[in-house]
A and B are shown apart, each in its own frame.
Chain A
């Protein structure tokens, strides 16, 4: 899965001259947390996030009631945005794990997706990544979710696949990861459609060296 497959295309973008109050309104109305700021030709100028909109406490303390109103109404997006030089971005052709990595490393919630050297084509947020994660594990479809533990050596996964293939089962989602608290093993999570859980357990437990450690019916 690449960024272009799970990003949101045509995000709401705002001009730098927009009053902050209006930007805030747009974020509230559309239930979004990030607003890329762009100029001519959708070139990225910066990014506005919810935190960016909250007034710093020391500024707030120094202002009286009237000043606050004035302060707010005069402020434009340009004053509060994170300038583009400091915004982490990504291109549509990169992988989503790379996107996840960048977001995790910088502890940020979104990456504007850029094309042709600076044109905003989309935005990818943590929500998009969570959705991708669900999809990879086949979440929206009803079926049997089974976790199989296998030794970490070549050929084990293919045994599992052969078993599935023999039964002609359809796998809706799959994920593998090093088994937590069990060195030298890998867990594989599978989502299998249109089959009974007992039957799955039966078949998979027959694979030598592998073990079903969790099985459940999920929707």
Chain B
């Protein structure tokens, strides 16, 4: 193709954005420059607090009352945006720039039918007739692969799932055929399978409509899949930019390199590879170093880096903001002593007694109906079958990873084990005690030995009490040490978590997300439990912090011989962290076995689909393209037979198009000693599945 169309849609040059605060102002963005051309997807990555979203808001002039563009230019289709009046900008936003946020409900009016909301975009100020608008909206919904568009348009936002809401929002954004589409973490709140479908959609739309896309995300895997070029932001500055292939193959800036080392590669495990967190944290705006922003956390920093602020400069095919970019060879990198030394994982020799054993564990929630019959208690009792027939065991000192999409019952499973929910049937034994009942029925000893780490760092700690008080509480409650030694014990725990004794008197709001999470772990550890249940402990954290927390968990597991149940939706993290993995779908364990067996054929068809959806942080990796159709069915009335049969892409491998899947509960196939797959397909067929991910060239 003759490339005359690659003229820039958006040019941002030397952008600085400041917010006025009491007693001065802070520069959230200090120096960002980039160009997005027609039909190009430009990914902006970086940890939270690096000013990614601020750049997007600056383009839209959504900086709020106290924010303003301090320096620099934002040129959209040749026109300077910073000098435009509010009304001109509004016109541009409506017609030529569209934005998609992380939370689709921010863009949808909950009290309006979806169809009406979409039509409004076209009918107001546009003079398009209602019937015409209706037709075009339906067509657009079809474009974004919404099943049954005409019906969906009659619904309210809350009646469709999150993934579908996001599709409606994307469709709405595209109705006016914008030249620029800004997406701020649009798939972060979605499940991997839905995310994969949305990312496919974005790539397709980009090709078809030549829309320029600015894609903000913290997820390197997503960037690798969606973007053509990437800009890495750190502390309000663009520190590196180049094509996605170049950045992933040969990152030049130490920060980019650090990010790459923080994320586990899909298929990596804890005994063979190590995660290296970036030491320290992102300096807050207003307290940024004078020299290179990254110097305090950089392994290579010398005097010049401390004093002289580097400029973004061209080096080979990339732009990089580093004095030493030529000299740094990232393959030669070795961890300095500051880095938390990752524990050598020793293969456990003894095949211990299982610490936890569950046999056909069931947890059902009663559903309250709203009909008169139900109110009078005459209606048939209905249940959400959140966990169905879960059978598994965990050996002492091992980690069981549980993966699955949201609503698959993994959280309920954990809640049942810890006793926040009553089990409905089956048998669970923990250290020989029966723990089918909830907490009030349990022995003090059992309660003490079972603790939990939570997902959300902002709600895991009580904002009223200091760190010390909160960690001390379980110690006092279970009297693990005499009263006069509590403080010493807390300090000991804090030090295990690599937090100093000076954290004792801090309040939660003075801590960063990673620190809060570490305190949460320390609190769970305080009663010296045998089993810790971790419900997505790292999914709300930035990658560098995530690596540090994972390393700490590994360390305490070694130190205290703790057993862990680890829930996560990130399949690379689960693979890295777990010894055994259970894949759940709609309350049912679909596949269970040693981690390495789960991630290689034979697969359960659902596992295969999950793996093919995972965004891999390597743009050159070849990934099989399997997308599940439709939605997860309701757990109140799960499909008969195999619960996965409504969406299974492999059903037709069975005779009769898999009729048996609709009627009969599948058998457990056991391709290996410990590896079990819940599927009608015979083991021989499952074994023939090709690996989902392969490297280009060398197979």
Chain A residues close to B by CB (< 8 Å): 8-15, 26, 29-30, 32, 38, 40-43, 115-116, 119, 121, 127-128, 131, 134-135, 139-140
- The complex places the Cα of A13 from the Cα of B2 at a distance, in Å, of 23
- The complex places the Cα of A186 from the Cα of B209 at a distance, in Å, of 38
Main secondary structure of the interface of B (DSSP, over half): loop
Our pick among A15, A128, A131 for the contact of B91 (Cβ within 8 Å) is A15
Residues of chain B within 8 A (CB-CB) of A128 are 4
Contact with A along B662-677 (1 / 0, CB 8 A): 0000000000000000
Which positions 167-212 of chain B face chain A at CB distance < 8 Å? 176-180, 209-212
User: Do A30 and B210 touch across chains, with their CB atoms under 8 A apart?
Assistant: no
User: Do A26 and B125 touch across chains, with their CB atoms under 8 A apart?
Assistant: no
> What 7 new A-B contacts, CB under 8 Å, besides A40-B95, A42-B176, A135-B2?
A8-B4, A10-B77, A26-B79, A41-B94, A41-B127, A43-B126, A131-B4
Give the one of B4, B78, B96 with max A CB within 10 A: B78
B136 within 8 A of A: yes
Our pick among B5, B78, B128, B210 for the contact of A26 (Cβ within 8 Å) is B78
Closest A residue to B7 using CB positions: A30
B9 within 8 A of A: yes
Which positions 86-104 of chain B face chain A at CB distance < 8 Å? 88, 91, 94-96
Which positions 143-183 of chain B face chain A at CB distance < 8 Å? 176-180
CB distance from B562 to the nearest CB of A (A): 56
- The complex places the Cα of A43 from the Cα of B647 at a distance, in Å, of 44
Give the one of A9, A30, A40, A128 with max B CB within 10 A: A9
Our pick among B96, B126, B127 for the contact of A10 (Cβ within 8 Å) is B96
- The complex places the Cα of A28 from the Cα of B94 at a distance, in Å, of 26
Tell me whether A12 and B79 are in contact in the complex, defined as CB-CB below 8 angstroms, given that A40-B125, A41-B126 are known contacts: yes
Contact with A along B491-515 (1 / 0, CB 8 A): 0000000000000000000000000
Residues of chain B within 8 A (CB-CB) of A13 are 77, 96
B38 within 8 A of A: yes
Residues of chain A within 8 A (CB-CB) of B1 are 135, 140
- The complex places the Cα of A11 from the Cα of B136 at a distance, in Å, of 22
Tell me whether A134 and B2 are in contact in the complex, defined as CB-CB below 8 angstroms, given that A10-B179, A12-B78, A40-B91 are known contacts: yes
Counting from the closest, the 7 A-B pairs by CB-CB distance are A10-B179, A9-B210, A41-B126, A30-B78, A131-B2, A12-B77, A40-B125
Residues of chain B within 8 A (CB-CB) of A9 are 5, 38-39, 179, 209-211
- The complex places the Cα of A167 from the Cα of B231 at a distance, in Å, of 47
Residues of chain A within 8 A (CB-CB) of B79 are 12, 14, 26
Residues of chain A within 8 A (CB-CB) of B125 are 40-41
User: Do A8 and B5 touch across chains, with their CB atoms under 8 A apart?
Assistant: yes
Residues of chain A within 8 A (CB-CB) of B209 are 9
CB distance from B38 to the nearest CB of A (A): 6
- The complex places the Cα of A9 from the Cα of B125 at a distance, in Å, of 22
Residues of chain B within 8 A (CB-CB) of A32 are 78
Our pick among A43, A121, A140 for the contact of B2 (Cβ within 8 Å) is A140
- The complex places the Cα of A29 from the Cα of B79 at a distance, in Å, of 9
